[in-house]
Structure 1
Amino acid sequence: MGRPRTFDEGRAVEAACRVFWLKGYEGATTEDLCQATGLGRSSVYNTFISKSHLFRRCLSHYMDTTGARQVSIMENAGPDGLGRVQALLEAIVEAELEGRREGYGSGCFTVNTITALAYDDPETATILDRDKERRLLALRSVIQGGQRDGSITSPEDPHALAWYVASTIYGMRVAAQSGAPEDILRRIVATGAVALAP
């Protein structure tokens, strides 16, 4: 019978998540992961099997956490469909600005993974695709609601508009990491709203 674990596995995942988020999969060393989690090399691999397995666990954790937060915004913020989309875009800007202020402007873990690793690893690609579909479904639902309540007047198909908003979010994330100033990021939000309600 093995010894019981004496550490919080969830906290270890969160700590490792920050390492992968900041350094990427290739840049994160086993030593980095050990230092962040407080675990020895054998404990890391006994618990999480491999670096790639731990990375996917961290990515899924990040997606679940940020996805839930964004869905909550879309369900509860704003008086109508357009207002909810705007609230989501503003939340993205605030997250990027907070990261910049705190000195860890690491962008979005998901976007970073898409641009660096997405199709090098089929299992990671599956996780990314599942998250993408979940986010698109949530966006499409909000957009359909906006078309019904009259706040979103674009006649485009809701699925295409959901892709447009998702692409705007990806683009804002990359622009923020490229040094776009706050006023430009907020103008992107305003331009996105105009596209939905021309």
Structure 2
Amino acid sequence: MARPRAFDENEVLDAAVRCFWTRGYEATSVRDLASSMGLTGASLYNAFGDKHALYERALERYVDRSVADRIVRLEAPGIPPREAIAGFFAEVLERSLDDPQMKGCMVVNAAVEMGPHDPVLRAAASRTLGEIEAFFTRRVAAGQKDGTLFSGETAEGLARMLLGVLLGIRVLSRIRPERALLEDVLRPALAALEPR
């Protein structure tokens, strides 16, 4: 008869997220993971499989607790479209500036590090970026419909511009986490949404 797990799965997954997010996939060893998660190597393998499977789970947990949560909160009824978009970026800026380790975004890091040669992780990162793009598209379309956002471009085109700005901010924040710089990158993008 198998023994019940003697650890909280969410807690150890959060530890794996922190470890992978700080070091990246390649630079994180199974020993690093086991140590940070408070597990033996055997327990780690028994519970999560190999390092790649654990990374997939950690990335999924990161997305659920950051990106997906942010989208749900900012699409709540009563939040105007421009406010939702600006709020999304405000949270990203604060998260980037309050990160002394300059970890950036785990999804962007996965896309850059693993995307070119790992189809599974490329698909996971692409799916999340697609969800962000879809959020921007829905909010822009809603703002165009109610007249509060610029309608001279398609909602899809403006959403892709916002996605590009987001990725730029997340990469820049890893090497130059300067408020003025990041706000200067964002300001023209938000201005481009204004009706005229």
TM-score (norm. length: structure 1):
0.92
Tell me how far apart the structure 1 counterparts of residues 92 and 164 of structure 2 sit (CA, whole Å). 13
Tell me how far apart the structure 2 counterparts of residues 78 and 196 of structure 1 sit (CA, whole Å). 19
Name the residue aligned to 1:135: 132
Tell me how far apart the structure 1 counterparts of residues 80 and 49 of structure 2 sit (CA, whole Å). 46
Pair 1:156 & 2:165 matched: no
Q: Which structure carries more helix by proportion?
A: 1
Structure 1: gaps of 5 or more residues: none
Contact 1:73 1:87 in 2 (8 A): no
- Structure 1 stretches (4+) deviating beyond 6 angstroms? none
Structure 2: gaps of 5 or more residues: none
1:95-137 deviation digits (Å, cap 9, x = unpaired):
11111xxx22211001111111113111112212221222222
Tell me how far apart the structure 2 counterparts of residues 148 and 194 of structure 1 sit (CA, whole Å). 18
Q: Percent identity over the alignment?
A: 28
Alignment of 1:27-176 (within 5 A): 27-76=27-76, 80-99=80-99, 103-176=100-173
Quote the RMSD (CA, aligned, Å). Answer: 1.7
TM-score (norm. length: structure 2):
0.93
| Distance change >3 Å, CA 180–CA 37, structure 1 → 2 | closer
Contact 1:34 1:40 in 2 (8 A): yes
Contact 1:80 1:149 in 2 (8 A): no
Count of aligned pairs between the two proteins: 195
